[in-house]
Amino acid sequence: MADTADAADAVDVLIVGSGPTGLTLACDLVRRGARVRVIDRRSTPHRESRGKSLHLGSLEIFETLGVADRMTSTGGTGLVFRKYFDGEHINDTPRDGSSVFIGQWQIEEILRDRLAESGVLVEYDAEVEAVGQDAAGAWATLTDGRTLRAAYLAGCDGGGSTVRKMLGIRFDGRTDDEQAMVIGDVTAAGLSRDHWHQWFTSDGGAMMLCPIPGTEVFQLQASPETDHRGERVAPSLESFQRLFDRHARMPGIRLAEVTWASAWRVNVRMADRMRQGRCFLAGDAAHVHPIAGGLGMNTGIQDAATLARVLGAALADPGAEHILETYEAERLPAAAHLLADTSARQARVLAAVREPGRGIEAGLD
Ligand SMILES: Cc1cc2nc3c(=O)[nH]c(=O)nc-3n(C[C@H](O)[C@H](O)[C@H](O)COP(=O)(O)OP(=O)(O)OC[C@H]3O[C@@H](n4cnc5c(N)ncnc54)[C@H](O)[C@@H]3O)c2cc1C
């Protein structure tokens, strides 16, 4: 045990990361009577739309946490996919309403509120730089010198997971050198908010604008812009507008208020283990993959629900620690399937959008 660890403050589970995975885990453990602590290196919550579709499996989990109604009343269903090719509107594809469209920051806000109702607040400005464990518990050392101790530790700290690295768990796979997409959140006054607009061009280019319900924001995804030397242009309002003008050909629409701008590379990797003794990995910390199908956040939520069940059982009955083995046995094959499945979905989407009238539904079916 680390010398500086404060055993008096020890909780049952220390959760590193307050994304959708860490927050779901925290809410689910609290409802099972566990004492949790959630820490995050951020100074404040983000407001990025990121994972924007909640699948039925996630809603079932949120039902048990008492937040499904808040998710459905904040989000929207039945968004119509509007497809254009070389600037021409080709067709509309209504969706069946099985997913709820909702910004990731809104999901996180609802989960944080639920957690706060149970008396647990996310602790910000708390960055983990090392983790350790012994027979009695696990601990994390923060960059500010504090050491936090718990019976178990969950690394829900995203694709670059420090917890995973500190545990020496491999993250095998590939990361493409080239940016695949630029992404961001923008407003686009005058553009219909009943449709997920998807513009594709015969040269293989794409731009999509998806309305985030309850906001003025559209999530933008586009093929990156290149400059005269063929170099990728950094995402910005000016670059987003040039891409929009080229793909959408709607001169009256001006993009504005960029609240998030980023670039995305194809990254297909998974951890070779999701448990080491008293420490566990969940969500993007354990698996990253193409976004086709919108499965990343949803899979992290499933990981979290499984881990909460397993840890809840082990905490309730110390004699039942063998149940901890079932987490990795269940979720590692699910992660392997996820990587193969999303790679196949990505290939289907890339092939489909070359045909006028087809769009990202090719990766959802
Ligand atoms: C454009 C886009 C669209 C997407 N669409 C979908 C979709 O439709 N459906 C879907 O399911 N998924 C989607 N995703 C994927 C989804 O955003 C991720 O899978 C999801 O964010 C993973 O959640 P997480 O909680 O595991 O990790 P994260 O959301 O990455 O959260 C990790 C947290 O850990 C904190 N942290 C990191 N390191 C430390 C440290 N050392 N100490 C303390 N805290 C730390 C971070 O600050 C962060 O808050 C999309 C992603 C993008 C970019």
Nearest residue CA, atom 38 of ligand 1?
Answer: 157
Decide whether any atom of ligand 1 lies within 6 Å of the 75 Cβ: no
CB-count exposure of residue 283 (10 Å: 0-12, 13-18, 19+): buried
Residue 8 has a pLDDT of 52
Residue 2: is its pLDDT beyond 70? no
At 4, is the secondary structure helix, strand, or coil?
coil
CA torsion sign, 227 to 238 to 251 to 183?
A: positive
Nearest residue CA, atom 52 of ligand 1?
Answer: 50
Model pTM score? 0.95
How confident is the model over 324-344, as a mean pLDDT? 93
Decide whether any atom of ligand 1 lies within 6 Å of the 293 Cβ: no
Tens digit of each residue's pLDDT (9 = 90 or more) over 265-304 = 889 999 999 999 999 999 999 999 988 888 899 999 999 9
Pick from 27, 37, 41 the residue to mutate for probing ligand 1's pocket: most ligand atoms within 8 Å of its CB: 41
Residue 41 Cα to ligand 1 midpoint, Å, equals 13
Decide whether any atom of ligand 1 lies within 6 Å of the 206 Cβ: no
Tens digit of each residue's pLDDT (9 = 90 or more) over 196-235 = 999 999 988 999 999 999 999 999 999 999 999 988 999 9
Q: What is the mean pLDDT of the chain?
A: 93
Decide whether any atom of ligand 1 lies within 6 Å of the 21 Cβ: yes
Q: Which atom of ligand 1 is nearest to the CA of 297?
A: 11
Residue 320 has a pLDDT of 86
Q: State the number of CA atoms in the 13 A half-sphere of 340 facing the CB.
A: 6
Model confidence at 3, pLDDT cuts 50, 70, 90, reads very low
Q: Which atom of ligand 1 is nearest to the CA of 288?
A: 19
Tens digit of each residue's pLDDT (9 = 90 or more) over 102-126 = 999 999 999 999 999 999 999 999 9
- Do 222 and 207 form a contact (C-beta atoms < 8 A)? yes
Tell me how far apart the alpha carbons of residues 205 and 199 are, in angstroms, rounded to a whole number.
8
Residue 45 Cα to ligand 1 midpoint, Å, equals 12
Q: Which atom of ligand 1 is nearest to the CA of 159?
A: 30
Tens digit of each residue's pLDDT (9 = 90 or more) over 43-97 = 999 999 999 999 999 999 999 999 999 999 999 988 899 999 999 999 999 887 7
Give the tokens for residue 261: 């701008």
Residue 316 has a pLDDT of 95
- Do 140 and 13 form a contact (C-beta atoms < 8 A)? no
Decide whether any atom of ligand 1 lies within 6 Å of the 103 Cβ: no
**Helix axis angle, 325-352 relative to 296-316, nearest 10°?**
170
Residue 5: is its pLDDT beyond 50? no
User: Among 269, 301, 273, 290, which Cα is nearest to 111's?
Assistant: 301
**Helix axis angle, 56-64 relative to 296-316, nearest 10°?**
30
DSSP state of 33: T
Task: Tell me the domains of the chain and their CATH numbers.
Answer: 7-78+98-174+267-350 (3.50.50.60), 178-264 (3.30.70.2450)
Q: Which atom of ligand 1 is nearest to the CA of 163?
A: 41
Tens digit of each residue's pLDDT (9 = 90 or more) over 133-192 = 999 999 999 999 999 999 999 999 999 999 999 999 999 999 988 888 999 999 999 999
Nearest residue CA, atom 41 of ligand 1?
Answer: 128
Residue 325 host element (H or E): helix 325-352
